[in-house]
């Protein structure tokens, strides 16, 4: 019986460069997996040329739609978008934020509701804080969370022998 090929999709439009670097550091260890960075033409980058890039139209949500259409059960998606995460979870996709937060069926409703309340508050003219500055600790947390997800896929031996 052959194991399904793992695909890691990255919502690259808003993904910090440090996290893209972290993902690329896994490439050699993930020889049987494919990593796909999805970005709009408006966010085209010449960095990470060794990675597979899919460029989509600059229309709102195009990268999200591509990721949603192409993911399958057991894939991994990296995104900051709660809406995209909520669409991927029922498909059996592991979803992780660039800060290492794992989106789950248990926490996504709360996250979406919090986003809705913040949006409602902004429409009413209230000022809300943006996200805190991305830190090295966020990078470490992301790496640890990704290793945890990958260990479910490959087993602990994978990490001891390849990372």
What tens digit of pLDDT does each residue of 78-123 get?
A: 999 999 999 999 999 999 999 999 999 998 988 888 878 888 888 8
If you write DSSP's letter for every residue of 138-159 in order, what string do you get? HHHHHHHHHHHHHHHHH-HHHH
How many other β-carbons are positioned within 10 Å of the β-carbon of residue 37?
Answer: 24
State the pTM of this model. 0.82
What tens digit of pLDDT does each residue of 2-15 get?
A: 456 789 999 998 88
Q: Calculate the CA 41 to chain-centre distance.
A: 19
Question: What contacts 75, CB < 8 A, 6 or more positions away?
Answer: 6, 7, 8, 9, 93, 94
Phi, then psi, of 155 in degrees rounded to 5: 95, 160
């Amino acid at each position: 019986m052959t194991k399904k090929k793992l695909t890691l999709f990255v919502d690259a439009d808003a993904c910090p460069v440090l996290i893209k670097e972290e993902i690329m550091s896994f490439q050699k260890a993930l020889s049987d997996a494919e990593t796909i960075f999805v970005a709009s033409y408006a966010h085209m980058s010449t960095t990470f040329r060794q990675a597979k890039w899919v460029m989509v139209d600059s229309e709102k949500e195009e990268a999200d739609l591509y990721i949603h259409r192409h993911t399958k059960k057991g894939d991994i998606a990296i995104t900051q978008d709660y809406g995209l995460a909520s669409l991927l979870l029922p498909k059996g996709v592991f979803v992780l934020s660039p800060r290492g937060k794992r989106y789950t069926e248990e926490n996504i409703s709360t996250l979406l509701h919090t986003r809705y309340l913040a949006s409602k508050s902004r429409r009413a003219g209230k000022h809300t804080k943006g996200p805190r500055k991305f830190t090295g600790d966020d990078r470490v947390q992301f790496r640890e969370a990704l290793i945890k997800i990958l260990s479910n896929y490959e087993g602990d031996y994978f990490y001891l022998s390849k990372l």
